[in-house]
A and B are shown apart, each in its own frame.
Chain A
């Protein structure tokens, strides 16, 4: 029987630790601790103008600040019965994609991959995987560039506001984003191949439950009033 305890989990966002007892193949007494104190954000937004709430809410988390931004905008626009144009809707979607590209590049290559390849960090990986590390950085930069174009800056941008945007991007900027996205496609496939080739350790598995939102038009996506589950169940916002 072995007791393991990791006081500070590395390469994750936020502060936490984990402890567990391992007896052969049986893991028990797993304790996961969060070290960050309460911030009482629920109370911070009360008594403020809707604009101030939109500004403060993304500060919940920097890594997913655009998701928080889209959520708070949707909530407030819904409450105030504000309709946004199709153009704004598409641009907010693009902004969200920027976050995905940035965050996934960070997560896969910088936070997760060093563990599987046996390195302490991604920069140390560069000696053996120079191309991957450099392209991952470029792809992360591309995601950030999309967020900056739409939201004003990388983290906690303020350009997406109730009703649309403070300033809309130029057509040329959007066309550049499109060209860049096409440019990265071969590397995206390479990434999938790389991650499919990793020898993942065996671990007890429970069936994964997938969820997504229904944005309308019989599509699936990351926002909408209905949550679709892989069990076939649909959960409505209300």
Chain B
């Protein structure tokens, strides 16, 4: 019977484990999820895990040790499709903000000369720094609807729905008052959607936790923010919190155009 079912593995690297927990948070759908697919490996939920061939591997967390690099490469070899599941896997997470030199200095300041005993720690990186990634589902953590859409489509062999718009678009659909017009620095125009504009729905500025929006126009956005009297450096700093290693790419276009 299991022959026809999609073989799925859920793997956790370094992070808060929120994206794996998110799957268990689908309380009303959980039994159906376990019945509809053959969940081969899911350490947080089950103990009879098998490391075999997979149709889909969902990898959450960022890579922070050499052991994780090996594990990740092994997952890639076994899985037809690898999904970067969540912000850490997609961009490296909040922990990927430092460059290599800064990372080493900060490590020393916190841990001194203490090293990990069984493996070597490395600067946090998204999983595509080491392997080819087929699909990205960003979010801190991934949205429940986002995951369920992905899962049901995957069962039918369809790729996930894209969210090719910033939070700002959904925020307008939700008929919120624009916070930027009230002088509150909101990252909605620059951040990938998928959360349903949850922060502006609560009168709070977007923190950027889905990472940079694909297709956003940072150049135009920054000039607009400057015109409105916002501190661009503060906005950039804010943006870097949840953009991990992808922030540089995001600003490349901006740098070119503003010259």
Contacts and interface: CB of A to CB of B under 8 A. Distances in A.
A37 B107 CA distance: 11
B248 interface: no
Contacts of B17: 13-14, 61-63
A111 B14 CA distance: 20
Contacts of B27: 137-138, 140-141, 144
Interface-centre pick from B14, B48, B111, B204 (highest chain A CB count, 10 A): B204
Contacts of A49: 234, 238
14 contacts: A36-B65, A39-B15, A43-B106, A47-B237, A48-B237, A52-B207, A62-B21, A121-B45, A137-B30, A152-B202, A154-B25, A156-B140, A156-B141, A158-B204
Given A11-B45, A121-B48, A144 B98 contact: no
A126 B33 CA distance: 14
Contacts of B49: 8, 10
A71 interface: no
A200 to B, nearest CB: 18
A41 B88 CA distance: 14
Given A38-B121, A121-B47, A123-B34, A155 B21 contact: yes
Contacts of A55: 207, 209, 241
A123 to B, nearest CB: 4
Given A35-B65, A154-B22, A43 B14 contact: no
A198 interface: no
A65 interface: yes
Contacts of A165: 202
B20 to A, nearest CB: 8
Interface residues of A, number: 60
B18 A65 contact: yes
Interface in B1-40: 12-19, 21-22, 24-25, 27-28, 30-31, 34-35
B119 interface: yes
Contact of B46 (A11, A38, A47, A62): A11
Contacts of A154: 22, 25, 144
Interface-centre pick from B24, B68, B107 (highest chain A CB count, 10 A): B24
Interface string B127-162: 000000000000011001000000000000000000
Interface in A145-184: 152-159, 161, 165-167
Interface string A60-73: 11110100000000
A120 B12 CA distance: 19
B220 interface: no
Given A41-B95, A63-B21, 15 more contacts: A10-B44, A33-B118, A36-B13, A36-B64, A39-B93, A39-B124, A41-B94, A43-B110, A52-B238, A63-B17, A110-B24, A140-B27, A155-B21, A159-B204, A166-B203
Contact of A37 (B47, B65, B209): B65
A47 B237 CA distance: 9
Contact of A161 (B21, B121, B201, B204): B204
A13 B44 contact: yes
